[in-house]
Amino acid sequence: MKRVSSNNVIYKFTTDLKEVEKVKPGEEFIVETNDCFYQQIQREDQVIEEIDHSSLNPATGPIYVEGAEVGDMLKVHIKKIDIADSGCSLAIPGSGFLPDKVKKATTKIIDVKDGYANFTDIIKIPISPMIGVIGVAPHREDGEWTTDTPYKHGGNMDTTEIKEGSTLYFSVATEGAMLALGDLHAVMGDGEVCVTGLEIPGEVTLQVEVLKNKSFPWPILETEDEIMVLASGDNMEYATKEALNSIIDIFEKSLGLTWEEGYILSSLAVDFRISQLVDPKITIRAAVSKEVLPFEKMLKAL
């Protein structure tokens, strides 16, 4: 099985990325990932000011997918996520959802053992490993995006359901798609309010497919039971409106509804969830049950 080394990283999703590896549709491969600090935080007496900020949010890749062309969709199935046995989480003055409340830079090194993150000797949190940053080269008209920022290409969406067993769908904007990923979390709450999850290095086993002549403005996430549109914007209102308009568009095309009927259905059957509140753009996900929106109907309509 091919292995993409964590030594091969990017810090920006652009239209002119140069691949470090090539994979074929249907092929399984392993991607080694760094944590968002590039493993610079190793002790609780370290603070963010002491580290090299030019090495933050590395994404391993990019990976060229054979047969992926402009106008296609890249299907990325997350087969397995393996994480290290220790990670870190920080409170940083001036950062997070309550930036003015943080009076003291605080670092916690948190061990992971037997399926739990040991926050203290008493507080043990069940882990749920997830991918914070995953995306492809953006469309030229969308510009370039640093790896800490989410947008239509994916990027730092910090969505808890981007985990083992889930599948992502990205519109292909350049030949080969140029997939890259990193920023694993052993566990993270919706919102990521203090600006970090349990940041941890690891390995991700992926399998990719190319869906010809399919596209959609925003990334789509498929879980066992739900379909989600992941939209990002400068504020919650913009991101929520983008997610809502997108899910209504899917309802119109796949279920044959009028816009007004899709709007009503969204109010009855769609959950709007906060993915993260703290990146340069905020990410909201619109989630609908596959019982309401059968996946094959949706896929056929894209």
Is the bond leading into 62 cis (omega within 30 degrees of zero)? Answer: yes
**28-33 sheet: strands from edge to edge:** 2-4, 28-33, 202-211, 73-83, 167-171, 220-222, 226-233, 282-289, 270-276
Asked whether the beta carbons of 184 and 160 are under 8 A apart, the reply is no
Start-to-end CA distance of the chain, whole Å, equals 32
**pTM for the predicted model, two decimal places:** 0.97
Query: Residue-wise pLDDT tens for the chain (302 aa)?
Result: 999 999 999 999 999 999 999 999 999 999 999 999 999 999 999 877 788 889 999 999 999 999 999 999 999 999 999 999 999 999 999 999 999 999 999 999 999 999 999 999 999 999 999 999 999 999 999 999 999 999 999 999 999 999 999 999 999 999 999 999 999 999 999 999 999 999 999 999 999 999 999 999 999 999 999 999 999 999 999 999 999 999 999 999 999 999 999 999 999 999 999 999 999 999 999 999 999 999 999 999 99
